[in-house]
Amino acid sequence: MGNLVRVGMADMNICRAPDRIITLGLGSCIGLVLFDIKSSVCGMLHVMLPDSSISKRTENPAKFADTGVEKLIEELRKQGVPQRALMAKMAGGARMFAFQGSGDYLNIGERNAEAVKGILMKKGIPIVASDCGGTYGRTIEFDPETYRLQIRAIGKPEKYI
């Protein structure tokens, strides 16, 4: 078994099997994994906000869905992975605060999930599995050798997608 590559909040990283990649504490954030089954290369992005236009500080592309997904694709291309070979798995996007109504603009988790899905659809990258929504945080770990995304949450059974 290889190393465990960490991805922080508003961060991204790339790894190759036998290494695995992890991000902790996804609440309303989205953890997106883009992977290629031929090369066993993957990248993970920890998105905090749906759109960079809502912020004055945009120097960190990984913070936002619109700029982060594009940057992750670019980094994977640098590793020799063509965009057409990519598949996606994602988790997170929880409603972490009780005052967030179903149509509420403040439901950042739902907005993050919809933003990531929309960008992937435009890019022609299929989402092969997801675990989004709910009212609980998640930690995710991806193994580019098995293509399994492990999801852990306090008080919930561990699962794989």
Catalytically annotated residue among 15, 29, 42, 132: 29
DSSP 8-state secondary structure symbol assigned to residue 38:
T
Q: Which residue has tokens 């004055």?
A: 56
Looking at this protein, which amino acid is placed at residue 24?
L
29 counts as catalytic:
yes
In terms of Cβ atoms closer than 10 Å to its own Cβ (0-12, 13-18, 19+), residue 126 is exposed
Question: How would you list the strands of the sheet with 4-7, edge to edge?
Answer: 4-7, 20-26, 138-143, 148-152, 159-160
Contacts of 159 (CB under 8 A, 6+ apart): 131, 150, 151
Q: Which residues are catalytic?
A: 29
